[in-house]
Amino acid sequence: MPIEFSKKLTAHETPIPGVVLYDLPVHGDNRGWFKENWQREKMLALGLPDFHPVQNNISFNEKAGTTRGIHAEPWDKFISVATGRIFGAWVDLREGASFGAVFTAELDPSQAIFIPRGVGNAFQTLEDMTAYTYLVNDHWSADAQGQYTFLNLADEAAGIQWPIPLEQAELSDKDKAHPRLADVTPMPPRKTLVLGANGQLGKALRKLYDGDTSVEFATRADVDLTSAESLTKLNWKNYSTVINAAAYTAVDAAETPEGRAAAWDVNVTAVARLARIAVENDLVLVHVSSDYVFDGTEEAHNEDEPLTPLGIYGQTKAAGDAAVSVVPKHYIVRTSWVIGEGNNFVRTMSSLAARGISPSVVDDQFGRLSFTTDLAAGIRHLLESGAEYGVYNVTNDGPEQSWADIAADVYELVGASRDSVTGVSTEAYFAGKEASPRPRNSSLTLDKIKASGFTPAVSRDRLSAYLKDGL
């Protein structure tokens, strides 16, 4: 069958999600033909995922009727034919509603097909001397074979109509022995890894994703971001997303020689290391940032404002943001005044109220609380909604308040007197103390996250519930 020349580069959806068939322009004359088998720029414009191929393989088949598969592999493939013609068969072997979906097509050199990880792939040659070629986005290894999922070529549920009956075709003994669909264990999706799982945000993410086996949690004991060796022990190809909830947050201690080194190690060097891993493995990287990247001179800080950190902690967070910004798939989630499970301002004020203590609290720094329940939900929203990558402010909603205002709210909500709280200036509060400079205005605009479809709870409502639930 002659090759059809000069087709327009075109993408065709198939019944299997993510499997896309492409027509390729082939240019021929009396000498033969030429085609661009893989052209990243043009194919990305058609919607092909930027799947970062790292290996090119060719399967040469001497006789028509050679049949291989059905193999679902732990990587993506871009398949075409160099010479000859094949009948291709693909079966979705991934977990999910499309498990068992089938698509078949004949391919010659003027066509190609993209096969996502977990979709079973098989072909039968229709001509002698057929060369089948494919790009993959991970290096083959013997260990990877343990992650394959297989389906029998003759599976009745798939019902593939092979042009050359299987009893007349060339098959390997291994392919003949593969299981039927009812006995196949579906390939699970790549996982999300949460780093810093014992912190306030990490604990909120644990609760949010409780029971979701596609999310793994790692403490510093499991994965030490400051250790390059610790990071190399993970098989990053098993993950699609990393949420970095780990950070050095001792704002005042960061101003000491020891604290400065620790802050830069955790918030910058480790984050840069993680950013490189994300780039190399095509991961989505979620990184939690801070209001401390700003000097507090604006009434409200939006996502595009230039970074103007004051102290060491703020400088390390700003540098970490810069490192993450080079990752093609990143969300920098900027937040402020975080309240969750663990030691925090609200717990301290509640404890003081219970003991009848009347505190002096700063009244010239303004912002909004960020309860980890909403912060975790905002992160999940960004990941599941397919929001555009970039920087998003995520705090609770409602009016801006000073620390003294919030302290008074806590006292009132636990049944103490608001008048027990006395306002004091930042200078007076920190007089004689070693402390980091603070932004006077930590308010972050919420227009962008709201436009993406997520509206955080009002701070006062969340505070009331937090205190009612016994912290």
Place of tokens 């709210």: 409
Q: Where are the beta strands (DSSP E) in 372-453?
A: 390-393, 401-402, 422-424
Nearest-CA neighbor of 335 among 394, 249, 261? 394
Number of residues written out for the chain:
471
- The letter for the amino acid at 159 is G
The DSSP annotation for 436-470 comes to: ----SB--B--HHHHHTT--PPBHHHHHHHHHHTT
253 DSSP assignment: G
Q: How many CA atoms are closer than 13 Å to the CA of 248, on its beta-carbon side? A: 30
Dist. CA 65–CA 262, nearest whole Å: 63
Catalytic residue positions, numbered: 71, 134
Dist. CA 405–CA 461, nearest whole Å: 15
Instruction: Check whether the bond before 312 is cis (ω within 30° of 0).
Output: no
Interstrand relation of 360-362 and 284-290 (parallel, antiparallel or unpaired): unpaired
Residues whose CB falls within 8 Å of the CB of residue 250, separated by 6 or more in sequence, listed in order: 259, 263, 313
Q: Where are the beta strands (DSSP E) in 321-446?
A: 330-335, 338-339, 360-362, 366-367, 370-371, 390-393, 401-402, 422-424
